Amino acid sequence: MAEHHGEYKVPGGKLVVADLMTEDGEIAAASINGDFFLEPDEALADINGALVGLSVLAPNTAISAAVADAVGPTTVMFGFDADAVAVAVRRALGHATTWADHDWEVIPPSTLSITENVALDEVLTREVGEGRRNPTLRLWDWDERAVVIGSFQSYRNEVDPEGVARHGVTVVRRISGGGAMFMEAGNCITYSLYLPASLVDGLSFADSYPFLDAWVMEALASVGVKAFYKPLNDIATEAGKIGGAAQKRLANGGLLHHVTMSYDIDAEKMTEVLRIGREKISDKGIASAKKRVDPLKRQTGLAREDLFEAMMSTFEARYGARRVALSQESLADARALAERKFATREWLHRVP
């Protein structure tokens, strides 16, 4: 028999630990333990029994369903649930990974065109999925006025062509979903995480967002900003929204997690460039898009470069990451991809 150990801390909840024994491709013995609460006590034996006999290749859905069926609807699982057990089991079996399982790298900001930045997201995500790059945090920088629209947004519904022309805005479409971002040079803080999908194995899309951004909440707290997630993908403080996240999962196992936060946004100009209708903000409790965003410059009083440093230092300390330069090979690949895809009218207007 082989021994396996896996742990999963539920975001906002408790620690779930899976100690397993496997034989002939199946779980032969299981002990689920942790600092969670469970009533009645006998349900723990039911959980362990439900895992015995499952294939070591069982997906999260099968593990979670087996646990849920075993405990029934009257069992109280406080601080964890059947999905959390499945994550711990998958981690024990080596199918799901933790932050500590990877050697993380950080690419500091360097000035590139907005089209190259968007193309780099696809290039670096593919490199991670193919195993040619360590999981990486990259901070963006650019020197132009831009709008980046989501992969599935309609160009004509999101962008005002008169405002784009008047303000000299470059419009590009990214590979991730989500909403349009008005990104003047120096007025936003944007970063991308490139990681293997195994890190979020078993997590719902909704749970994966705060899970992947826990470090940036810590970084913001270190400069006096108490931030939190507003489902699904808004990052906010009590003073208002500061940013939003988007994701793209590639078939090769690479995952892109992308965040843009407002540093010193020109809300007047934003409303002239983007078509932000009342339906978009109808569930936000506000009457105007201009009042929706509260920039980090006002909340912290810090230079943008100081916020970059706080973010990189926090990420390095939390995950043992090291800073590296963007390779010339990756940059060349991104520039080529930008030319044949992201800078083309066909891609930009793929949703008219």
| Separation CA 186–CA 296 (nearest Å) | 12
| Separation CA 82–CA 59 (nearest Å) | 13
> Which residues on neighbouring strands pair with residue 147, listed in sequence order?
171, 182
Task: Give the pair of three-digit tokens for residue 248.
Answer: 């793209």
Q: Is the peptide bond before 232 cis (omega within 30 degrees of 0)?
A: yes
| Separation CA 174–CA 177 (nearest Å) | 8
Cβ–Cβ under 8 Å, residues 190 and 183 = yes
| Separation CA 86–CA 65 (nearest Å) | 9
pLDDT attached to residue 240: 86
The residue among 191, 160, 174 whose CA lies nearest residue 270 is 160
Task: Give the pair of three-digit tokens for residue 293.
Answer: 């965003």
Q: What is the mean pLDDT of the chain?
A: 94
Write out pLDDT tens, residues 5-40: 999 999 889 999 999 999 999 999 999 999 999 999
Is it the case that residue 313 has pLDDT exceeding 70? Answer: yes
pLDDT attached to residue 294: 76
Amino acid at 348: L
pLDDT attached to residue 290: 52
- Other beta carbons within 10 Å of 45: 11
Is it the case that residue 286 has pLDDT exceeding 60? Answer: no
| Separation CA 209–CA 118 (nearest Å) | 20
Q: Is the dihedral of CA 298, 301, 303, 308 positive or negative?
A: negative
Average pLDDT over residues 89-95: 96
Cβ–Cβ under 8 Å, residues 126 and 136 = no
pLDDT attached to residue 293: 72
Is it the case that residue 279 has pLDDT exceeding 70? Answer: no
DSSP reduced 3-state for 113 = coil
Cβ–Cβ under 8 Å, residues 160 and 96 = no
- pTM here? 0.90
Is it the case that residue 300 has pLDDT exceeding 70? Answer: yes
User: For the ranges 110-124, 219-233, 263-277, which has the lowest average pLDDT?
Assistant: 263-277
Amino acid at 166: R
DSSP string, 139-190: E-B-SS-EEEE-TT--HHHHB-HHHHHHHT-EEEE-SS-S--EEE-TTSEEE
Is it the case that residue 276 has pLDDT exceeding 90? Answer: no
- Other beta carbons within 10 Å of 212: 20
Taking CA atoms, 329 is separated from 7, 252, 325, 333, 335, in Å, by 37, 20, 11, 6, 10
pLDDT attached to residue 234: 93
Cβ–Cβ under 8 Å, residues 247 and 258 = yes
pLDDT attached to residue 292: 57
| Separation CA 46–CA 68 (nearest Å) | 10
DSSP reduced 3-state for 2 = strand
